[in-house]
């Protein structure tokens, strides 16, 4: 069979063929791409981790397809530090090179923190699932930090109605926060959101606990009973008091220990512009 294209002959750009159906696509791109990144760490300046990456743009109705290789090319140009200040450059290059009006980036990654047990001081690493979410559209850039924190909650109703004891369970608090102050992007540390979530629950979750620590955490939870409704309100109240939090969504979910279902609550809020 003869070669369709001879050496040095131009190869047709099929993606740029016109599409007759007249249907624009909101997002097209690549996802589930694993990639090593370096992010800011409050305690150690920088931390290396591995992200699961999603990159996309809108596709006008008259284009047949997007050039998928360009997504990876642009990511390779930014394989170093990933911050709220570097993501806009990636977004702008996506728009430019793929001739798009909007672009979206999401990097989901584990973030590790050293945690000390409350009594023994035993140290171990805890991982928290986090994400950087960036979007540019109509000339405006946006950065959202998402952090999911495991926590312990003890049921106030169970404590109130029981002769002794109360059921508790592990849960998760997920915060999606836009940091902004005076119209400019403002840094909020992952560690700060971890602290807020733990302060809003019955007790923190630890990777390593000795017997004195277990006793402490068990009693701490018993002394601080909360529903999922309490947790999202506690988190929301703390974020509202932070002038850097311009907008947020908070979700708490309990993996119930005595029910065959999960309980959840969610709060969304946006600061009024001055």
Return the number of other C-beta atoms located less than 10 Å from residue 8's C-beta.
5
pLDDT digits (tens, 9 = 90+) for 89-148: 999 999 998 888 999 999 999 999 999 999 999 999 999 999 999 999 888 899 999 999
- pTM for this structure? 0.90
Report the distance separating Cα 195 and Cα 238, nearest Å: 11
**What confidence tens digit (pLDDT) does each residue in 156-210 have?**
999 999 999 899 999 999 999 999 987 788 999 999 999 999 999 999 999 999 9
**Is residue 1 scored above 50 in pLDDT?**
no
* Separation of alpha carbons 97 and 161, rounded Å: 63
- Yes or no: say if 15 and 63 are a contact pair by the CB < 8 Å rule: yes
Nearest to 246 by CA among 219, 225, 274, 212: 274
Domains and CATH numbers, the chain: 22-270 (3.10.270.10)
Q: How far does Cα 121 stand from its chain's mean position?
A: 29
Where does residue 257 rank: exposed (0-12), middle (13-18), buried (19+ CB within 10 A)?
Answer: exposed
**Of 62-71, 192-201, 212-221, minimum mean pLDDT range:** 62-71
Residue 58 has pLDDT above 80, yes or no: yes
């Amino acid at each position: 069979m003869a070669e369709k294209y001879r050496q040095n002959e131009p190869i047709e750009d099929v993606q740029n063929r016109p599409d007759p159906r007249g249907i624009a696509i909101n997002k097209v791109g690549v996802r589930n791409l694993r990639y090593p990144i370096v992010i800011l760490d409050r305690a150690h300046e920088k931390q290396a981790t591995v992200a699961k990456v999603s990159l996309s743009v809108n596709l006008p109705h008259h284009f047949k397809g997007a050039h998928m290789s360009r997504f990876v090319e642009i990511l390779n140009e930014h394989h170093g530090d990933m911050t709220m200040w570097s993501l806009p450059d990636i977004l702008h290059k996506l728009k430019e090179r793929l001739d798009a009006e909007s672009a979206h980036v999401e990097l989901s990654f584990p973030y590790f923190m050293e945690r000390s047990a409350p009594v023994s001081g035993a140290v171990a690493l805890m991982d928290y699932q986090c994400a950087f979410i960036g979007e540019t559209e109509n000339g405006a850039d946006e950065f959202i930090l998402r952090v999911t924190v495991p926590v312990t909650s003890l049921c106030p109703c169970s404590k109130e109605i029981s002769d002794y004891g109360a059921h508790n369970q592990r849960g998760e608090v997920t915060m999606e926060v836009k940091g902004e102050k005076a119209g400019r992007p403002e840094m909020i540390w992952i560690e700060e959101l971890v602290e807020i979530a733990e302060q809003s629950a019955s007790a923190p979750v630890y990777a390593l606990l000795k017997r004195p620590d277990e006793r402490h955490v068990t009693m701490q939870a018993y002394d601080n009973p909360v529903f999922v409704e309490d947790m999202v309100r506690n988190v929301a109240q703390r974020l509202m008091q932070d002038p850097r939090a311009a907008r947020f969504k908070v979700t708490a979910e309990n993996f119930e220990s005595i029910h065959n279902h999960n309980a959840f609550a969610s709060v969304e809020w946006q600061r009024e512009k001055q």
